Amino acid sequence: MAEDGSILSYACPRCDRALDAVGDRLRCAGCRVDFPRVAGIPWLFAEPGAALDEWRARFGFALRRAEQEAARLEAASGAPTLREQTKARLAASRAALVDHAARLRTLLAPLGEAIATAKPETYLALRTRLPPDQGLTTYYHNVHRDWAWGERENEAALAAVAAALGDRPAGRTLVLGAGAGRLAYDFHERCGPSVTAALDFNPLLVLVAARAARGEAVELYEFPLAPRSTAEHAVLRRLAAPAPARAGLEFVLADAHRPPFAAGAFDTIVTPWLIDILPEPFDALAARINALLADGGRWLNFGSLAFHDADPALRYGLDECVAALEEHGFGTPEVTEQEVPYMASPASRHARLERTVTWIAEKRRAAKRPARYQALPEWLVRGTDPVPLTDSFRTQVATTRIHAFIMSLIDGRRSLKDIAAVLAEQRLVAPEEGEGLIRGFLIKMYDDSRRGIGY
C-alpha cells in the first residue's frame, strides 16, 4: 500500500520514477513536479498544470456552447407562427440546457473555475483540445449508457471480456481508457482482480464514474441524438451503480500514452474501445502495454477495429494486429468476434449493432520499449523556440489568408458575382472558374450556419 493509503503505486509519467505522497499531492523528486488530486483522484498528466488549464478551457467552451444554444432556442421560440407543441419543446429544451450547465458547473467544480472568458469563435480558432477530436463531452452519451439505461450493452461487454479471461486469475488489473467506467466497475466486481486501476483522461467521465462506484447518484441530462418524442429531447437521468464497488477499485486521471505506473505493474490490462482511436501507431501501443505487464501477464482487448490514421499503412486489419502482437512479445492471441448493441438509448431512434473484436494475448517475452510519447513538439511546449515554417504551415497560411480575404468581402452589399470578380482581379482564381468556386464556398458556409457548425 502506498504512503497515502492508495493500494496502487504510481510512477512519474515524465521519468518513470516512483512518486512520493506529500500531503494531498504526489511528487516526483527527480522532476520536481507536484501532481495534484481532483476530487481525490490523482491527476497524473506529464504536464499537470497545462493539462488542468486545457480541461478548464474545454469546460469553459462546453459552457459557452450550452449558453449559446440556449439563446438560439429562446430566439427561435419567439417566432409568431409556432405551434404550441413547438413552443413547449423549445422552452423545455432551453430550460434543460440551462439546468444542465449548472449541473456541469457543480460536478466539475473540483477542476477549478472554468475558463470561459473568450468568445466561442476564439476557442474554435485556437482548438483548445488535445487530442483535437476529444472534447469534454465527446463521449458524454457513455455516462448514460454506463450508469442509467445500458444494462444490455454493459452485460454484453462484460460477457465478452469475462469469457476471454476464462479461469485465469485477473490479478492486478489496469483498465486503460476506462471512459465512463462501467466495464471497469463490472470487471472489478465480477472477475475478482486484486486491484483495478481505471484510467482515463476525461475528467467529466471519471468524476461521474468515481461517484457512481462509491454508491452516489449523479443526475445529468441526456440529449438523445434522435429523440423518440417531444419529451425526450432532454431527459434527466439518475446515474448510479447497482451497489458501491468493493475495495480495490481506484480511478486515475492520466494520458493512456503515458500511464503513470512502473514496468511490470499489472497482470491484466484491459483496453475497451481504445486501440483504434489513439493517435499513436498500434505497434507503439503494443510495446507500451508489454512493458506494463508482468511476465505471463495478459492483454485483454475489447471493442471496434476501425483505424483511421492519416497514413494508410497504419490502418490495420485484425491479421495485422495479430502479427504486431507476436512481434512485440505476445503469444498468438485468442480472438473472438461478436455483434453487440451500441448506444441503444430508450429515448433515441438512433442505435446500431457493432461487430466487436475481443482478444487475450499472453506476454511471452519483453519487447523493446517505444520512445516516450510526445504529444507536442518542444517549440510548442517550451514556447520560447521559433515556430517552424513547415510546408504544411505554408499551405495553411496561404489558405487562411484567402479564406479570411473572401470572408472580408462579405459586407451585405456585394453579390456572389461581385466577390468572384474581386478574386479574379487579385488573380486568386481564373475568371472562368471564380463564380463556381465562390458559389461552392458560400454553399458550404450557408449549410454550416444552418446546422449550427461553428457555434
What does the pLDDT profile of the chain (455 residues) look like in tens digits? 554 455 789 999 999 999 999 999 999 999 999 999 999 999 999 989 888 988 998 898 889 889 999 999 999 999 999 999 999 999 999 999 999 999 999 999 999 865 444 444 443 443 333 454 567 888 999 999 999 999 999 999 999 999 999 999 999 999 999 999 999 999 999 999 999 999 999 999 999 999 999 999 999 999 999 999 999 999 999 999 999 999 999 999 999 999 999 999 999 999 999 999 998 999 999 999 999 999 999 999 999 999 998 899 999 999 999 999 999 999 999 999 999 999 999 999 999 999 999 999 999 999 998 888 876 677 776 678 898 888 888 888 888 888 889 999 999 999 999 999 999 999 888 888 889 989 998 998 888 777 664 43
Which element (helix H / strand E) includes 195?
strand 195-200
The amino acid sitting at 9 is S
**Could you tell me if 59 and 115 are in contact, meaning their C-beta atoms sit under 8 angstroms apart?**
yes
Residues 6+ apart with CB under 8 A from 398: none
pLDDT at 383 (0 to 100): 72
User: Left if phi > 0, otherwise alpha if psi is -120 to 50, otherwise beta: which for 296?
Assistant: left
* Cα 113 from Cα 57, distance rounded (Å): 9
Name, in order, each residue with C-beta under 8 angstroms of 161's C-beta and a sequence gap of 6 or more.
183, 187, 191, 270, 272, 300, 302, 358
Backbone phi and psi for residue 253, each to the nearest 5 degrees, phi listed first = -100, 110
Q: Which of helix, strand or coil describes residue 356?
A: strand
Alpha-helical segments (H) within 346-453: 378-382, 391-408, 416-425, 431-451
How far, in Å, CA of 431 to CA of 425, rounded?
8
| CA proximity to 92, closest of 232, 237, 239, 238 | 232
Identify the pLDDT of residue 258. Answer: 93
d(CA 322, CA 324): 5
Query: What one-character DSSP code corresponds to residue 452?
Result: T
Integer Cα distance of 349 and 19 in angstroms: 48
Topology of the domain comprising 140-362: Rossmann fold (3.40.50)
Q: What confidence score (pLDDT) does residue 381 get? A: 62
Whole-number pLDDT of residue 449:
75
- Model pTM score: 0.85
What is the pLDDT at residue 369? 87
Residue type, 8: L
Residue 395 is predicted with a pLDDT of: 83
Which residues, in sequence order, are bridge partners of residue 33?
A: 28
